[in-house]
């Protein structure tokens, strides 16, 4: 085996010198500063805000500009930063504001500044990586310009001549755009999305399209991502939930237009059986965006989807006693004559409860009409090419958790008991807890995705468990009270009690124990999304003496009233970890015209004692192994 391996390795290098060159090259890379990681979570379909934070690298771009041009004024810095975030839009704006001559002159100045910036941000990479970051069609010219920009005075005329030529050819704007793209690309090297791309906001699809184009990205699945993946791969209850949430937030376009799902029969059915009801008013962030009749139809659709969801959920609960969800089989707790329901031993009246298609003797049963509709919709979901591509992306780049450069990333939680022990999920005669539980869930998700034609197998049902189950690391609460919030007035029934994890995660020793369970060093960090941090109530996103960071600040517009902020993100560069708080994002137009950024504060979570180098990272560890193999090959070159 070893022999074969070294023979293959040797085949890549034509001479001993080539091996030596590679050893030197890799060793040098190991000594470079660690590249910047960027963490975002709970973006919930808010594409514009996501895109903005991505473009400004959570403030990294401005920081680099400040270091690169210490003498620059705040206004000029802001203008240059905007050009890097939105080059096309900013150039269009300047073009319309200025005369041709001043515009061209301005472009030349900006190009020179951007060349210096590329050089500055590229310092911590190899030359080859910087070269590859340039768009291919401008690679040669940009390399030439960067070299000449640093040239001595003697070559000033040569440099000026190139610029003049580019100006005459009208190519300066294209080069500016190429440079801006490269600067953004080099400033943040890797992006982590700690879950919940889908639901509430209008454009999760655009977010995924964007992520698919990024060179280095990973995703930790959130509960809202899992239900979409489940809807694609055969879960009828998850599909109804997805439709219910889309109608609740006025987002039918994503279903009908983006994913090509035909809702016609469901809409007609909803309009036939349901009357608009106050509990089902759609939650819209933009007033006046829909007509009254559109709102009414959404209302009816949400009701129909909710009742179908409860029916299908009841069927699942009955076929999966192991899931221990019997107490959540709400339809079987209803007294249909009295219009009451029993929740945890107490009886409550039902408000505006309308379920014209439910047979009280068999409340979980679908009518023939409903069977047809559900069957047809499932097929639509499964046949959507675009949804398939997006789910495939989430499968390839995603997982239940990620261990990366000593940190652990999990969307929700690690289910715990009050005393801090890992809580077990029992299935058949097996119990799963801690990392083993998350590995088990991860495997089941992949099994489900491999068989989209299966609708009631264990793996598909586990997808639903991940949405509502007490031991789900993505949910982290005892019960999801969707039914209660729609139909019971008494708000105490609406409370979703959180797993003890959410109290215990304040303590560093708890986090250390979790990190150990995942085979990670004690000085690592745990990063969570999922629970919006209510900053306006004084909640702190940095917990357990800095060992745990929660970065769900609420990109979701519908939640910003509660959080008082528009999201947190995290940056981890060679100097340490920084938490960044963001203000609500308005529009791209305003960002370009006013140069407004949405960053409010940055807080240092951890400053490293010694600057982190590539050799201290996961990639670095792999490089070190490669170097060792190459050194062995170098010494024994002739034997292979
Ligand atoms: O605000 P809505 O649409 O009623 O949704 C509330 C539901 O969303 C959840 O918070 C789950 O969504 P998150 O993962 O975004 O928290 C449930 O626990 C809760 O029942
Ligand atoms: Mn979540």
Helix (H) or strand (E) holding 335: strand 334-335
Which one of 224, 245, 561 would you pick to mutate in the ligand 1 pocket, going by the greatest count of ligand atoms within 8 A of its CB? 224
Tell me if 480 CB under 6 Å of ligand 1: yes
pLDDT tens for 429-466 read: 999 999 999 999 999 999 999 999 999 999 999 999 99
222 close to 204: Cβ distance less than 8 angstroms: no
Tell me if 423 CB under 6 Å of ligand 1: no
Which one of 247, 249, 485, 528 would you pick to mutate in the ligand 1 pocket, going by the greatest count of ligand atoms within 8 A of its CB? 485
Q: How confident is the model at residue 596 (pLDDT cuts 50, 70, 90)?
A: confident
pLDDT over threshold 80, residue 290: yes
Long-range contacts of range 530-533, CB-CB < 8 Å, 24 or more positions apart?
Answer: 530/41, 530/42, 530/195, 530/196, 530/222, 530/223, 530/411, 530/412, 530/413, 530/474, 530/476, 531/476, 531/498, 531/502, 532/42, 532/556, 532/559, 532/562, 532/563, 533/563, 533/565, 533/568
pLDDT tens for 317-360 read: 999 999 999 999 999 999 999 999 999 999 999 999 999 999 99
Cα separation, 184 vs 177, whole angstroms = 11
pLDDT over threshold 70, residue 564: no
pLDDT at residue 600, as a whole number:
59
In the chain, % of residues over pLDDT 70: 98
pLDDT at residue 69, as a whole number:
95
ipTM: 0.94
Mean pLDDT of 82-86: 95
Cα separation, 262 vs 518, whole angstroms = 44
Cα separation, 165 vs 280, whole angstroms = 63
pLDDT tens for 539-563 read: 889 999 999 999 986 787 777 766 6
454 close to 317: Cβ distance less than 8 angstroms: no
Cα(first)–Cα(last) distance of the chain, in Å?
Answer: 13
pLDDT at residue 590, as a whole number:
87
Q: Out of 181-185, 294-298, 352-356, 532-536, which region has the weakest mean confidence (pLDDT)?
A: 532-536
Cα separation, 445 vs 229, whole angstroms = 9
pLDDT tens for 197-238 read: 999 999 999 999 999 999 999 999 999 999 999 999 999 999
pLDDT at residue 277, as a whole number:
97
In the chain, % of residues over pLDDT 90: 74
pLDDT at residue 601, as a whole number:
67
- Give which of 567, 544, 542, 547 is closest to 557, Cα–Cα: 567
pLDDT tens for 122-132 read: 988 888 888 88
Tell me if 454 CB under 6 Å of ligand 1: no
Tokens of 414: 């690690």
pLDDT over threshold 90, residue 46: yes
List all residues 6 or more positions away from 449 whose beta carbon is below 8 Å from its beta carbon: 229, 233, 391, 395
400 close to 459: Cβ distance less than 8 angstroms: no
Tell me if 244 CB under 6 Å of ligand 1: no
pLDDT tens for 611-634 read: 899 999 998 999 999 999 999 999
Apex 41 CA angle, 498 and 404, nearest 5? 100
pLDDT tens for 132-169 read: 899 888 898 888 888 877 766 677 788 888 888 888 99
Ligand nearest 480 Cα, by number?
Answer: 1
Ligand nearest 246 Cα, by number?
Answer: 1
Mean pLDDT, the chain, rounded, equals 92
Cα separation, 636 vs 640, whole angstroms = 7
């Amino acid at each position: 085996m070893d022999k074969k391996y070294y023979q293959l390795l040797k085949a890549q290098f034509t001479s001993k010198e080539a091996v030596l060159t590679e050893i030197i090259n890799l060793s040098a890379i190991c000594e470079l500063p660690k590249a910047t990681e960027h963490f975002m979570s709970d973006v919930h379909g808010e594409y514009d805000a996501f895109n903005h934070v991505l473009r400004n690298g959570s403030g990294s771009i401005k920081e680099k500009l400040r270091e690169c041009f210490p003498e620059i004024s705040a206004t000029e810095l802001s203008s240059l930063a905007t050009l890097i975030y939105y080059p096309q839009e900013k150039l269009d704006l300047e073009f319309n504001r200025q005369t041709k001559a001043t515009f061209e002159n301005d472009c030349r100045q900006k190009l020179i500044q951007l060349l210096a910036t590329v050089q500055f941000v590229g310092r911590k990479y190899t030359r080859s990586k910087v070269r590859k970051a340039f768009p291919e069609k401008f690679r040669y010219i940009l390399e030439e310009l960067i070299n000449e920009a640093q040239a001595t005075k003697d070559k000033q005329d040569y440099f000026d001549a190139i610029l003049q030529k580019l100006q005459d050819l009208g190519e300066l704007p294209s080069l500016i755009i190429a440079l801006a793209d490269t600067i953004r690309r080099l400033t943040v090297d890797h992006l982590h999305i700690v879950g919940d791309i889908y639901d509430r906001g209008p454009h999760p699809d655009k977010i995924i399209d964007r992520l698919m184009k990024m060179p280095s990205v990973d995703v930790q699945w959130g509960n809202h991502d899992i239900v979409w993946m489940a809807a694609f791969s055969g879960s009828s209850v998850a599909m109804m939930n997805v439709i219910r949430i889309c109608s609740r937030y006025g987002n039918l376009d994503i279903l009908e237009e983006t994913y090509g799902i035909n809702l016609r029969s469901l809409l007609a059915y909803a309009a036939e059986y349901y009357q608009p009801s106050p509990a089902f008013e759609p939650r819209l962030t933009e007033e006046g965006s829909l007509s009254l009749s559109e709102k009414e139809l959404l209302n009816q659709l949400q009701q129909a989807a909710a009742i179908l969801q409860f029916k299908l959920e009841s069927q699942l609960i009955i076929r999966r006693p192991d899931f221990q969800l019997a107490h959540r089989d709400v339809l079987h707790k209803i007294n249909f004559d009295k219009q009451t329901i029993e929740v945890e031993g107490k009886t409550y009246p039902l408000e505006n409860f309308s379920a014209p298609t439910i047979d009280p003797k068999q409340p979980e049963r679908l009518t023939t009409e409903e069977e047809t509709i559900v069957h047809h919709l499932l097929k639509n979901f499964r046949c959507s090419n675009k949804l398939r591509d997006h789910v495939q992306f989430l499968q390839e780049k995603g997982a239940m958790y990620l261990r990366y450069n000593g940190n652990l990333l999990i969307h929700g939680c690690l289910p715990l008991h009050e005393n801090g022990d890992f809580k077990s999920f029992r299935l058949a005669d097996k119990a799963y807890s801690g990392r083993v539980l998350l590995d088990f869930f991860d495997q089941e998700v992949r099994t489900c995705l491999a068989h989209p034609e299966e609708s009631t197998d264990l793996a598909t049902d586990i997808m639903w468990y991940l949405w509502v189950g007490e031991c789900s690391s993505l949910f982290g609460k005892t019960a999801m009270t969707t039914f209660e919030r729609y139909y019971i007035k008494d708000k105490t029934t609406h409370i979703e009690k959180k797993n003890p994890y959410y109290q215990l995660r304040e303590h560093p020793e708890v986090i250390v124990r979790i990190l150990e369970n995942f085979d990670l060093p004690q000085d690592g960090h745990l990063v969570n999304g999922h629970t919006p941090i209510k900053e306006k109530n004084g909640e702190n996103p940095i917990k357990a003496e800095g060992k745990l960071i929660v970065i769900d600040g609420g990109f979701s517009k519908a939640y910003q009233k509660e959080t008082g902020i528009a999201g947190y993100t995290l940056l981890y560069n060679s100097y340490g970890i920084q938490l960044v708080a963001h203000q609500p994002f308005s529009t791209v137009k305003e960002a370009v015209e006013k140069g407004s950024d949405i960053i409010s504060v940055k807080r240092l979570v951890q400053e490293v004692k010694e600057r982190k180098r590539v050799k201290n990272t996961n990639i670095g560890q792999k490089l070190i192994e490669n170097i060792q193999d190459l050194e062995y090959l170098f010494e024994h070159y002739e034997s292979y």
